[in-house]
């Protein structure tokens, strides 16, 4: 048992122990004690005292105040998200996670200082038993971990208990990307000619633009057969929020992307049809919509991806007799086809607007693996030809 100058343990009933640790004087020269009643065995009490003494020695101990003692997890997470620096959509998602899974759950009513890894483990297990998708539970974990990491910096807790609770999380398998083969891409392109947004689908498949980037394009961004990608359309993060055209997050995302004559012609035809629609409805054209957007609804309003998928993209896939896929998979298809055709990965990275070549290589490693065999075969053929000549 530790000496009274550092700490002591006193029995307080069956399996109840009072741990008291002498604390250094505060800024006013006042000395105090850290007191905690531990439920469990004497060994548990000693382990608790050892942990606190180590925190004192290492400078990570958090002195208890009325504020730290009373702050519940849901209170702290609500305050944390109010000061979190992130885009509006992310903040709205964080608030939704806190509201749906933390606020009314017993863990949300616990004091932050009382949180232990086993509490968080049970919380995760309960979410999984409720039938939540592994990806959703992983998102809850991500938000909770980020908030408690901030609590450590705020010296509300000594260390993040969430770090020891991840072992119960189910592994989230990365969703398989639906990538068009060259033959499927040809069928898709043929089907776009009869679709109202055919120019958009052709553009996405050919350039690999992110959907938001394509929907943020203005006619002024088209110079000859080159598109200047310099903004993305962001849908409202919550009810009552506004649509926004935002600059890309990275410098690499601002780029110039050449397009083929086929896509250029499709855009010209689309622009002509858009002008006819605008002339037809006159003053009722998209009040408040950003002027000059390439892709809008028939009355000039912004386009929602979910509506586009349901009303145009999904029927188009059926016409082309293609399997279900996401609009974003056109980007993956574009990159995969370019790489499979032997394009330099650096060129593909710049075309996609990836921040680094590493991201491109990691994302499309499955294609690059196949190219290794092709490279080997070409090299072998070249060597064989040389030997014949010799």
The enclosing domain of 351 has a CATH number of 1.10.443.10
For 326, residues 6+ apart whose C-beta sits below 8 A from its C-beta are: 178, 309
Whether residue 34 lies inside any domain: the answer is yes
Asked if 12 and 84 sit in the same domain, the reply is: no
Whether residue 380 lies inside any domain: the answer is no
In this prediction, residue 5 has a pLDDT band, given cuts at 50, 70 and 90, of: very low
Whether residue 364 lies inside any domain: the answer is yes
The enclosing domain of 87 has a CATH number of 1.10.150.130
Whether residue 245 lies inside any domain: the answer is yes
Q: Is the pLDDT of residue 1 over 50?
A: no
Q: At what angle do helices 329-340 and 345-352 cross, to 10 degrees?
A: 160
Whether residue 81 lies inside any domain: the answer is yes
Query: Which domain, by its residues, includes 231?
Result: 182-370
pLDDT tens digits for range 314-327: 999 999 999 999 99
Asked if 134 and 254 sit in the same domain, the reply is: no
Q: Are 264 and 219 in contact (CB under 8 A)?
A: no
Task: Look at residue 256 and give its three-state secondary structure.
Answer: strand
Question: Which residue matches tokens 């629609």?
Answer: 277
Q: How far is 276 from 298, CA to CA, in rounded Å?
A: 10
Q: Is the dihedral of CA 212, 214, 218, 220 positive or negative?
A: positive
Asked if 212 and 345 sit in the same domain, the reply is: yes
Q: Is the pLDDT of residue 385 over 80?
A: no
Whether residue 379 lies inside any domain: the answer is no
Q: How many domains does the chain have?
A: 3
pTM of this prediction exceeds 0.85:
no
Asked if 113 and 246 sit in the same domain, the reply is: no
Percent over 90 (pLDDT), the chain: 48
List the beta bridge partners of residue 9: 19
In this prediction, residue 189 has a pLDDT band, given cuts at 50, 70 and 90, of: very high
**Residue positions counted in the chain:** 390
- Can you tell me the mean pLDDT for 259-264? 96
Asked if 230 and 307 sit in the same domain, the reply is: yes
Asked if 275 and 325 sit in the same domain, the reply is: yes
Count of beta carbons in the 10 Å neighbourhood of residue 240: 6
pLDDT tens digits for range 127-153: 888 878 788 889 999 999 999 999 988
Whether residue 174 lies inside any domain: the answer is no
């Amino acid at each position: 048992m530790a000496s009274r100058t550092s700490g002591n343990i006193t029995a307080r009933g069956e399996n109840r122990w009072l741990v008291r640790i002498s604390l250094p004087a505060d800024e006013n020269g006042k000395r105090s004690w850290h007191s905690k009643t531990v439920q469990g065995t004497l060994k548990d009490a000693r382990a608790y005292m050892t942990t606190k003494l180590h925190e004192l020695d290492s400078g990570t101990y958090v002195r208890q105040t009325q504020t730290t003692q009373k702050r519940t997890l849901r209170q702290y997470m609500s305050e944390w998200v109010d000061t979190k620096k992130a885009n509006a959509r992310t903040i709205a998602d964080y608030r939704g996670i806190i509201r749906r899974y933390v606020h009314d759950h017993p863990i949300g009513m616990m004091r932050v200082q009382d949180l232990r890894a086993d509490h968080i483990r049970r919380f995760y297990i309960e979410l999984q038993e409720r039938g939540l998708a592994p990806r959703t539970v992983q998102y809850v974990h991500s938000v909770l971990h980020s908030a408690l990491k901030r609590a450590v910096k705020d010296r509300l807790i000594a260390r993040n208990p969430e770090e020891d609770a991840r072992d119960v999380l189910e592994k989230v398998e990365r969703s398989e990307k639906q990538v068009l083969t060259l033959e499927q891409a040809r069928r898709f392109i043929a089907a776009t000619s009869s679709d109202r947004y055919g120019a958009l689908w052709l553009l996405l498949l050919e350039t690999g633009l992110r959907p938001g980037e394509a929907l943020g394009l203005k006619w002024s961004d088209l110079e000859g057969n080159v598109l200047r990608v310099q903004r993305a359309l962001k849908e409202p993060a919550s009810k009552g929020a506004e649509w926004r055209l935002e600059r890309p997050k990275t410098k690499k995302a601002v780029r110039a992307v050449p397009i083929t004559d086929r896509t250029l012609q499709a855009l010209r035809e689309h622009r002509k049809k858009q002008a006819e629609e605008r002339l037809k409805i006159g003053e009722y054209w998209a009040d408040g919509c950003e002027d000059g957007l390439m892709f809008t609804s028939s009355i000039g309003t912004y386009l929602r991806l979910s509506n586009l998928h349901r009303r145009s993209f999904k029927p188009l896939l059926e016409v082309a007799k293609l399997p279900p896929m996401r609009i974003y998979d056109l980007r993956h298809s574009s990159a995969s086809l370019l790489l499979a055709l032997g394009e330099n990965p650096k060129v593909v990275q710049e075309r996609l607007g990836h921040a680094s070549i590493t991201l491109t290589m990691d994302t499309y490693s499955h294609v690059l693996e196949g190219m290794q065999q092709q490279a080997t075969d070409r090299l072998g053929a070249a060597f064989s030809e040389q030997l014949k000549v010799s």
